Every structure is written in C-alpha cells, then in structure tokens.
Homo-oligomer: A and B are copies of this chain.
Amino acid sequence: MPVNLKQLAELLGLSQTTVSRALNGYPEVNAETRQRVLQAVRETGYRPNRAAQRLATGKAYSIGLVMPIAPGIDSDIHFGEFLAGLGEAAIKHDFHFVLNPSAPEDEEATFRRLAASGTVDAVFLAYMRANDPRIAMLKSLSMPFVVHGRSIGGPQDYPFLDIDNTRAFYDAAKLLLQLGHQRIALINGLEYLTFSIRRKKGLMRALEEWGLRLDEALVHHSVMTDEYGYRSMQSFLQQPDPPTAVLCSSTVLALGAVRAINQAGLTIGADISVIAHDDVLPMLKPENFSVPLTTTRSSLRAAGARIATRLIGGILDSGDYPEQELWRAELIVRASTGPAPGR
C-alpha cells in the first residue's frame, strides 16, 4: 500500500508544504532536503496526486494527438500498434492522451485548438508528407512536439524520430540484386507519404549501383491492406515481363501478394522472391508465413514508446534525449528470398 503525502511528510519530519514544494521543484527548497524527499519517494513508492500537481505546476500531464478520420479513411492497424507504444511509456509517468479526431483538411485548425485548450503539454505529429506545412505550424504554437518520420524538403531543424527508410529498402534491394534479380517490383504505401518516397528512393539507388533502372510499371502505391497487396501482385504477374522479386512496404501488403503468387502456381523463394517491411505487428508475424518472409524490421511500438518518453522527458525536464533520431531497420533473411530463376 503506497503512502500518501501526509504519511510521507511525517516519515521525513517535514511539513506537507515543504515535501510538495520539493517534489514540484520550487527553488526555496534546498538541494539536500530535495534529495532526502526524492529518496523517500523512491523507497515508499509515493505517488503524488495528479490533480494537486496540476494546480501546483500548471502542467496537464497530457500529450495531444490528432487522429485523421473521414468516411473514406480506414482505420490503420499501424496506428493502433504505435498507440500501444505511446501508452506503454505514458503509463510509467502517469500521463494521458487527448485524442482529437479531425478531417484531414481541418488538421491544422485542430492542432491550433489543441494547443490553445491548455489540456495538453505537447503534441505528436505523424503521417509526414513532402514539404509538410504542419512543421512550420507546430513551430508557431510554442508547444513541444516530436515528429514521427521526417518531411522531405525544408530545413531539418525540428525534433523527430524516424527509421532510415531509404537505407532499409536499399539493403533489401541489394540482397535481391546479389541474388541475381533484375526486375524488382515495389508495392508501396500512399505516394505522398515520406516513408513511401524514401523506400522507393532506396530501391532506385541500389538498382542504379547495378547499372539498372526502375521500371515504373513495377511500382504500385496504395493504402496498406491485404486486398491492395493481392491486386498489385496479380497485375504485376500479368505483365509480359513479370518481376522475379517484390518489395512490400508492410507485412499486410505481403499477405495479399503471397496469395496472388500462390494462386499463380509460383513458388516463393524459387520462382519469385519477396521481402516485406515488418513493423513487428503482433497480429501478423513474418516468420509464420507459409514461406517465412525476409524482412526489414523496426518495431513501431518501440518507436511510440520512445517518442512518448522523449516528450514526457521534455515536459518534466528530466533525462537528456537527442533531438533527432534515425533508427536503422534490421534486414532479416528468411526463406522467401532465393536466387533469381535461371541462375
């Protein structure tokens, strides 16, 4: 049973006011007393009353999110997984989220209202686009923020966490080229999102190093569902000169692609190689595909947890975190990649 403020004060032989001021960082409490208080907090598991803290500090202990929503916008399993990561970190510090649904065209106004409401201490931005106008908007709000992903174009002078998408798909394409593949298809996310742009760039860069050029007829962009993975792969296989390998921007897309390949009577890893980006979605593990999938792996949940940790660290002025982080995805080779047919 954790102690309350009164018990903590008695234990320390201090007044409740002094303990409270020590906890809330008031300068009139000397360093030695503050140390004693913090030590006792650790030992007793004392948990301060959030409502009282809110009054004392003016903080909301809350992070604002904008959830894009419209009749035509499907829910995104990647969003749920990211949210689980945010929650995992928030719970450690007793933070919560204010989630504002917004039509994409109202997003800027929604962020402004959120910042003006006083209900959040920081905001988080995702689904980055090229030359994303929301970066300048967030800077103007004078409220801490962290971007998940990065814009393309404009100065890179804002806090972000991104994975190195160019490098991930460069690495994946290089593996395929080393195996002798020359016609490599790409089933990608929506065309205007920066992760899609960078993954395509990674593929192009690897092809160029091999003296090859990307055939635009082998590139599809769509929302990342099983259905689009299936349709894209089916249309690639119907081309006169079909690809011998395919990169998929999500294991969900790969699910559909694999079905199209199976239906065409082709063998994965022999007739055609498949590599997918794996966000480590618990619902769908690449090692459990009938032919285990080669992947570029980076946990979306870990990214969520890290972003929440950085935001909260900034709000509480605790810990020292880098402003910008670029995580490298790990290339994990499984049975879905093999030599190009005829080699």
Chain A residues with CB under 8 Å of chain B are 50-51, 62, 67, 69, 71, 73-77, 79-81, 83-84, 86-88, 90-91, 96-103, 113, 116-117, 119, 224-227, 230, 252, 255-256, 259, 262-263, 281-285, 288, 290, 301
Contact = CB atoms under 8 A, between A and B. Distances in A.
Nearest to A89: B101
A270 B116 CA distance: 62
Contacts of A225: 282-285
Contacts of A71: 88
Given A87-B69, A290-B262, A75 B230 contact: no
25 contacts: A50-B117, A51-B117, A73-B84, A74-B84, A74-B282, A75-B77, A75-B80, A75-B83, A76-B80, A77-B77, A77-B80, A80-B80, A80-B83, A90-B101, A96-B99, A96-B100, A96-B101, A97-B99, A98-B99, A119-B119, A226-B285, A226-B288, A230-B288, A259-B288, A259-B290
Given A51-B117, A77-B80, A227-B285, A102 B97 contact: no
Count copies of this chain in the complex: 2
A282 B252 CA distance: 11
